[in-house]
Amino acid sequence: MTVTIYHNPACGTSRNALALIRHAGFEPTIVDYLQTPPSREELVRLIADAGLTVRQAIREKGTPFAEKGLDDPSLADDQLLDAMLAMPILINRPFVVSPLGTRLARPSETVIDILPETFKGAFAKEDGEVVLDAEGKPLR
């Protein structure tokens, strides 16, 4: 099974999603989207496949979102997409794609929904929050 993660190694949520994918027994294709942003078509597909709106897929925290006036409700999706492609830090993360679906893995354990149940043992996020029990079953 092929899994792809649009990853930011500086983001704890992204690191936790990557660790969960590996805990399930998969070595994903890792796309450092800050260095290699998706094309417009890829970004539109990721957002649609994840069942999100463009506004839901744009990152506000720790980005120039407000500074660039992107909080203006009159901006069209195309304008927001233009901004996301010009400044990839505005793309929320991590997007994860598997044959079972696409998710914006926020929180990171959302990735569990698109992975087969191949988890072996407990898993805790970087902050110590346990998301899989000793049998590899989700605690949510």
Q: Please say if the pLDDT value at position 67 is more than 90.
A: yes
33 is catalytic: no
Supply the pLDDT for residue 140.
76
DSSP 58: B
**What does the block give as tokens for 109?**
């354990």
pLDDT in tens, 100-140: 999 999 999 999 999 998 998 999 999 999 999 999 999 87
**Among residues 5, 6, 8, 11, which one is catalytic?**
11
- Mean pLDDT in the chain? 96
**What does the block give as tokens for 50?**
């994840």
CA distances from 55 to 46, 76, 89, 125 (A): 13, 10, 14, 27
Which of 28, 9, 36 minimizes the C-alpha distance to 97? 28
Cα atoms in the 13 Å half-sphere on the side-chain side of 113: 15
Rounded Cα–Cα distance for residues 102 and 90 (Å): 19
Question: pTM of this prediction?
Answer: 0.94
Please give the domain boundaries of the chain with CATH numbers for all domains. 4-132 (3.40.30.10)
Rounded Cα–Cα distance for residues 60 and 58 (Å): 6
pLDDT in tens, 2-48: 999 999 999 999 999 999 999 999 999 999 999 999 999 999 999 99
